[in-house]
Structure 1
Amino acid sequence: MTGIANRAQSACGNTRGSTRPVGQEEPRRILLALHDGALLDEACAALEALGMEIAVADTVEEALLLQTERHCELILIDAALARQHAYAAIRHLRALGTRRIPLIACAAGMDEAGRNALLRADIDDVCAPPLVRTQLSRLLHLWLPLKEDEASCDSGGAGMRSVADLLGAGFSTVAQTFCRESAARLDALRSGLRDGNAEDLAGTAHALGGSSASIGAWRMAGLCRALELQCLAGIEGRLPQLMDDIEAEYRRQSHCLAQMIAAQGATRPTSALAR
């Protein structure tokens, strides 16, 4: 275990016992299980710049041990490592906790068949090098679970507040358009789910995820991304739960938008916000 900690410290400049200023928010914990040393250094540098706490594992056994001890909130695993022993690593990692932790596989030149095989093995997403700050920032926005205190509107709408600050008075119109289009797309998602049309369902989820990301509703964008990938891989088991989660998140984001616009002194959005 000392070797793992030492490697994490040398590669990322982070230690398990590191201190932070009083009052500073506890960093989010990310587990990296990457074989390529250069790729690992690249990922560590980017994640450190993003304020993450990093744990590094060389093997499946080390990854399991670190996850048991550190309870990391997202795991980035080498696709080749994930494929070893018929994806046993994924099953073991999934069995470690009750909450679903995002598992992201990293692979260069991954084709659609390879990606779908990983998704069917219970990987959440697949990314390709380079693991630079912009790439990893996007992944974290989409997949990092909300902290308990971020479930409230006041602390959960940071992304949308950034967009509101950028757009100023024009944010009201953008928010109303988002809610109106999102309501229609949610109806289309429900219809697609009933009809079993995976291609249409994936397309609608992609569109809804893109509009959610553009307004800073990152949690909803991540859920749409998950539904889209599950459809593309032909996996049906998680679709109803993902649909429920997307609808619940839409209601939460709509409430946040209404509060933000009211605080700006702008005209309250249409009834779509209260859907």
Structure 2
Amino acid sequence: MTEPSRAKRGERERPAVPRYGRRILLAEDSPVNQMVAKKLLGIFGCEAEVAERGEDALALWEKGGFDLVFLDCRMPGMDGYEVARAIRAREGGGRVPIVALTAETTLDERKWCLDAGMDDFLPKPITADALGAILSRWLSLPAGAAPPPPAAPARAEEPALRLETLASFIGMGGDSEGGEVLDSMVQLFLSLTPPKIASLREAAARGDGPAAGEVAHSLKSSCYAMGAWRMGDLCDRLERMGGEGALGEAPALVESLEREFARAREELARKPWKK
């Protein structure tokens, strides 16, 4: 007995996804964002080499063979701007496309990226649609390949999580495979977040703006990737306060961050994307 068609079961056909078969350099210090980016790049048929620090990214690039480079603008050691400048200064005749990974979308941020030699921007949190548009713009498709998937509708905001972020991630790779990877992502996020919040609390207590800003930036990226936008926005405020050296309100914000994490953790424990 044959399985009924998707149409008869009332399921939507997923759009065909292009397979580029290219090699990508991914410079990103957040483990959660690394997992998201590698999974999505794999769906588009790309192999990703990951570097957690700018110096490591530059060393990998010097070995050659990359068709596209993604650089987190703010990493430990050399940041993305410095790596981009170094690549542009050292490359020969061929110019590799460099795409900035950034949670900032201001005109100043874009100008800094372009001035450093970058070619494009991929906002965080990374989504399949945004990544597909970047790959379509900078990589040539094999003959007969399907076009990138259409843009998704605007996402509705949830009390603790934007579940559409997680659901769309599963949908791109198939429910079974995507669900397994998402389970791993959730466990990684839940294990890494408490010590980062503790580090934020300690940095705020001793008035260490640079340390607070660095931890907040790293955590912000992971929060947005997991759909925890309220947490991400709190981290963004803490990051800015750390950069300004004005941490007077930081302890209260850290408390709010802890409360939002508790809500997000409770929601994630129910695995709502499996309903």
Q: Do Structure 1 and Structure 2 share a fold, with TM-score over 0.5?
A: no
Query: Quick one: higher RCO (CA 8 Å, sep 6+), 1 or 2?
Result: 2
The TM-score range, normalised by the shorter chain, is 0.3 to 0.5
What TM-score results when the alignment is normalised by the length of structure 2?
0.42
What TM-score results when the alignment is normalised by the length of structure 1?
0.42
Higher helix share: 1
